Amino acid sequence: MSDINKVVLAYSGGLDTSVIVRWLQDNYGCEVVTFTADIGQGEEVEPARAKAQAMGVKEIFIDDLREEFVRDFVFPMFRANTIYEGEYLLGTSIARPLIAKRLIEIANETGADAISHGATGKGNDQVRFELGAYALKPGIKVIAPWREWDLNSRESLMEYCRSRDIPVDFSSAKKKSPYSMDANLLHISYEGDQLENPWTEPEEDMWRWSVSPETAPDTPTYIELDFQCGDPVAVDGVAMSPATLLEHLNKVGGANGVGRADIVENRYVGMKARGCYETPGGTILLKAHRAIESLTLDREVTHLKDELMPRYAKLIYNGYWWSPERRMLQAAINDSQGVVNGKVRLKLYKGNVIVVGRQSDDSLFDEHMATFEADAGAYNQADAEGFIKLNALRMRIAAKKGRSPL
């Protein structure tokens, strides 16, 4: 007999997690609590309640986490200009620590012994969910059905539903997109099917959020973003909440063909995987944030942030959001953002995000110093001679000793 009496399941209401509800009931003889998170995936989440009730679930949690997701996870990540392996804006990765946090909160509220998720044994999400859960509740038990059962195809899952009277719309299940997809307010991802061949170009009708650059408007769209302490707070002078702002940027960016990426990435579990991503709002935010930092941050602070960013990105990608090292890096990043205030003007045109202006009361740009015209003595060009000779000193000494670089 299992020692697990109650388990909290991250539940979407789809085929996989519907099977998991019954599978947990059958194999562990436990009560199942379902948790469905609205993080802006663009699909109605309330139907999950009726599906869970039909399977005998008594405790059902459906939470709107959109504002918390953007405010407490997406924006802090963008303060670091975070990008994994030069291309991936971490749309899936950054959602997992929030879901793990809420799973543990519900486990504490309901007295559950374990949590469960529908991530497969091949991917990164199992690591992200479980590392987060263990960091927040060390003694929690984790049940990962994909690592235990032998239901390894959509057909076998559907047959399991038929044999156990699990309420699933089989017609819609068969018509489901051939891709494995994940969506939230930051992005939508596509994996599997023909994308498993890295040489195959994605079909145009795969993309959901953006038009192709070829069919984007011939007239550019101009937008202005206001930043306070490193976070965007308004678009075109209109103050917006974090989730509303990101949703708005997704729409205007997608309408201009912004934010598509086709990547072969290195998963934490060891394999390479090909994925396609749409991140219109995030692509705009990254460009705008770097632009306002270029005006307001000290040179060495900027360079240090750039050196730290790949490590920070890897921590998020690999599931270490709740680790002490990520929190330490976040404290340093946040400390740098107090002066990152001002406005950035951008031109969106056929897939491109082009910075065309930036201004800030905290600007370190000195026109008197930088001008090519007469600077009235603001900068003594003769000072550069000694500066150059001092910086060349070690190389001059080495060359005199016969250590020529040629």
Same domain assignment for residues 29 and 151: yes
210 & 158 share domain: no
Mean pLDDT of 68-75: 98
Task: Give the gyration radius of the chain's Cα atoms.
Answer: 25
Helix/strand/coil for 9: strand
Joined together, the tokens standing for residue 115 give 């949590």
Residues 16 and 145 in one domain: yes
Mean pLDDT to the nearest integer, 158-181: 76
Last residue of a domain, one of 127, 146, 176: 176
| 5 pLDDT tier (thresholds 50, 70, 90) | very high
Residues 178, 182, 184, CA angle at the centre, nearest 5°? 145
Write the CA distances from 103 to 61, 120, 310, 362, integer angstroms.
10, 18, 28, 41
Active centre residues (catalytic): 16, 96, 125, 180
The 3-state DSSP composition of the chain as helix, strand, coil percent (nearest 5) reads: 45, 20, 35
Q: Is residue 241 included in any domain, yes or no?
A: yes
- Note whether 239 and 353 are same-domain residues: yes
Residue 10 shares a structural domain with residue 143: yes
Task: Pick the range with the lowest mean pLDDT from 111-120, 170-179, 222-231, 243-252.
Answer: 170-179
- Whether 56 is covered by a domain: the verdict is yes
The verdict on residue 84 lying in a domain is: no
**pLDDT value of position 15:** 87
- Reported pTM: 0.94
Instruction: Give the CATH number of the domain where residue 284 resides.
Output: 3.90.1260.10
Please determine, for residue 170, whether its predicted confidence score (pLDDT) is greater than 60: no
Check pLDDT > 50 for residue 1: no
Residues 102 and 127 sit within 8 Å (Cβ to Cβ): no
Domain range for 394 is 367-400
Q: Structural domain tally of the chain?
A: 3
Does pLDDT of 379 surpass 90? no
Q: Is 264 contained in some domain? A: yes
Q: Are residues 167 and 25 in the same domain?
A: yes
Last residue of a domain, one of 151, 176, 201: 176
Same-domain status, 203 and 258: yes
Q: Are residues 288 and 380 in the same domain?
A: no
User: Is residue 348 located within the same domain as residue 217?
Assistant: yes
pLDDT in tens, 331-343: 999 999 999 999 9
Q: Are residues 189 and 161 in the same domain?
A: no
pLDDT at residue 186 tops 60: yes
* 10 residue type, one letter: A
Residue 255: inside a domain = yes
Same domain, 141 and 288: no
Q: How far apart are CA 7 and CA 111, in angstroms?
A: 9
Determine, yes or no, domain membership for 311: no
**193 and 289 inside one domain:** yes
CATH number, domain of 159, equals 3.40.50.620
Instruction: Among 176, 206, 223, identify where a domain stops.
Output: 176
Q: Is residue 74 part of a domain?
A: no
Q: Which amino acid is residue 40, in one-letter code?
A: G
**pLDDT value for 404:** 85
pLDDT of residue 243: 98
pLDDT tens digits, residue range 294-326? 999 999 999 999 999 999 999 999 999 999 999
